Amino acid sequence: MKITARTLSGEICDVQVEGHFFKKISSRKGDILDLPWIAPGLIDIQINGFGGIDFNRPLESDEAWHYATKQLYAHGCTGFLLTLITNEEDKYGRFLAELTGRINLDPRNCLGFHLEGPWLNPDPAYRGAHNPEWMKKPSLRQLQEWQAITGPLLKLITLAPEVDLEAAVEVIRAGVKKGIKFFIGHSAAMGSILQKAVAAGASGWTHLGNAAPATMPKFENVILHALAQPDLMASLIPDGLHLPPHAFRVLARLLNQANPSRLLLTTDAMAGAAADEGRAYTLGEVQVKIGADGSARLPATDGSGEGRLAGSTLTPFQGVFLAERMAGIYLEDAWKAFSTRPAALLNFQHGLVEGNSADFCLLSPTKTPYLLATYHRGKCVYEAP
């Protein structure tokens, strides 16, 4: 198969795909109008559910798995980390085992697990939509149990090191040796605690700016402390709700300006993403209401009429364009933060390079691009109707 297309940096290329891989990519001169754009498949490191399917509940059928993964392809995503949130210990183990079996048998675009919880900070200001009753201190024993279940599918763990710093450092050191990445999140870690977690090997902060107190001291707060760590990456959710546009703009531009860039984009999508509007969905044990603005919220408990955010209904393809617009950064930079950078984090070769797996998106050459097709391992897995 040979495709002539334009990369996001404007270069015209002949792209030859053979079997699962890019065989040859050669740039060519000229100015051919109406060529589609070609870009690496989007990689989302935090997907709790999609297309009406909740990954934090037992999957009802093979069809549910096929449908959710197909919907991710239909939104440009050729790789994602299935994310489990805090749950009862027994249930958590069962889900991990069931999903590991499924992914090993039929991985589709799933790259493995992101475990967000149960090693989080139970303080109401930091816990977000997670149930504090099931939160735990990090433990090496637990890490080994999870690894025994998942094998190499365990890719990323979000934790709050301040809950038990000594144990967190031990777990991070041991996990990093096995190729697991650690992000800090739902956490109050600052100063020397944060420093120690980073020194042990923590490499990012999960959805920076969220799962943080509504009001914070002007200098001693987790956002500034995370930004001040020179090598710490951070994921941001570009839905305009988790971070209001001005906050997204400041954080995304700052992270993106670092050399190398520290910006990662993720949807943190839950079942309500790419699903029917006006319905209620679940995120594990909790009911989540989808608002007219697309927000996914827990029922309100404090009389304010607005519950906590519980994931998003954003899709990866929407997210990359919203990020470009809100941050005022190049589309190419936003796309990298949602494709090749998360891939590099997960230690796999990705992007328009000869020999890489042919995982890419074709976009329409229109003013507002839409997704024409998604290819995974050289095969067309989505085509616009």
Q: Tell me how far, at minimum, the Cβ of 116 lies from Zn ion, in Å.
A: 5
Identity of the residue, 38 or 296, whose beta carbon is nearer to Zn ion in the bound complex? 296
DSSP state of 312: B
Stretch that binds Zn ion, among 21-29, 106-114, 124-132, 212-220 (CB under 5 A): 124-132
Q: Tell me how far, at minimum, the Cβ of 378 lies from Zn ion, in Å.
A: 34
CB-count exposure of residue 9 (10 Å: 0-12, 13-18, 19+): exposed
Q: Tell me how far, at minimum, the Cβ of 337 lies from Zn ion, in Å.
A: 18
Identity of the residue, 76 or 128, whose beta carbon is nearer to Zn ion in the bound complex? 128
Contact criterion met (CB below 8 Å) for 172 and 198? no
What is the helix, strand, coil percentage profile of the chain, to 5? 30, 25, 45
Identity of the residue, 162 or 333, whose beta carbon is nearer to Zn ion in the bound complex? 162
Contact criterion met (CB below 8 Å) for 235 and 264? yes
Stretch that binds Zn ion, among 71-79, 123-131, 314-322, 344-352 (CB under 5 A): 123-131
Rounded to an integer, what distance in angstroms lies between the CA atom of residue 333 and that of residue 186?
Answer: 27
- Closest to 80 measured CA to CA, from 41, 39, 133: 41
- What one-letter code names the amino acid at 59? L
Q: Of all residues in this chain, which one has the CB nearest to Zn ion in the complex?
A: 128
Q: Tell me how far, at minimum, the Cβ of 207 lies from Zn ion, in Å.
A: 6
- Closest to 87 measured CA to CA, from 118, 62, 63: 118
Binding mask 217-246 for Zn ion (x = CB under 5 A): ------------------------------
Stretch that binds Zn ion, among 15-23, 127-135, 197-205, 285-293 (CB under 5 A): 127-135
- Closest to 157 measured CA to CA, from 126, 132, 178: 178
Rounded to an integer, what distance in angstroms lies between the CA atom of residue 119 and that of residue 41?
Answer: 31
Rounded to an integer, what distance in angstroms lies between the CA atom of residue 44 and that of residue 66?
Answer: 17
- Number of residues counted as binding Zn ion (CB under 5 A): 1
Helices (H) and strands (E) in the chain, counts: 10, 20
Identity of the residue, 83 or 357, whose beta carbon is nearer to Zn ion in the bound complex? 83
Tokens 């029917």 found at: 276
Stretch that binds Zn ion, among 104-112, 126-134, 170-178, 312-320 (CB under 5 A): 126-134
Identity of the residue, 5 or 270, whose beta carbon is nearer to Zn ion in the bound complex? 270
Rounded to an integer, what distance in angstroms lies between the CA atom of residue 345 and that of residue 340?
Answer: 9
Stretch that binds Zn ion, among 98-106, 128-136, 237-245, 254-262 (CB under 5 A): 128-136
Structure tokens at 33: 């109008």
In this structure, are strands 110-116 and 280-283 parallel, antiparallel, or unpaired? unpaired
Q: Which of residues 57-116 bind Zn ion (CB under 5 A)?
A: none
Within 8 A by CB and 6+ apart from 133, the residues are none
Identity of the residue, 75 or 114, whose beta carbon is nearer to Zn ion in the bound complex? 114
Identity of the residue, 51 or 128, whose beta carbon is nearer to Zn ion in the bound complex? 128
Stretch that binds Zn ion, among 66-74, 122-130, 190-198, 374-382 (CB under 5 A): 122-130
Q: Tell me how far, at minimum, the Cβ of 385 lies from Zn ion, in Å.
A: 34
Identity of the residue, 308 or 350, whose beta carbon is nearer to Zn ion in the bound complex? 308
Q: Tell me how far, at minimum, the Cβ of 160 lies from Zn ion, in Å.
A: 11
- What one-letter code names the amino acid at 22? F
Identity of the residue, 116 or 333, whose beta carbon is nearer to Zn ion in the bound complex? 116
Stretch that binds Zn ion, among 65-73, 91-99, 125-133, 246-254 (CB under 5 A): 125-133
Structure tokens at 139: 């433990």
Q: Tell me how far, at minimum, the Cβ of 186 lies from Zn ion, in Å.
A: 6
- Using CB under 5 A, list all residues that contact Zn ion: 128
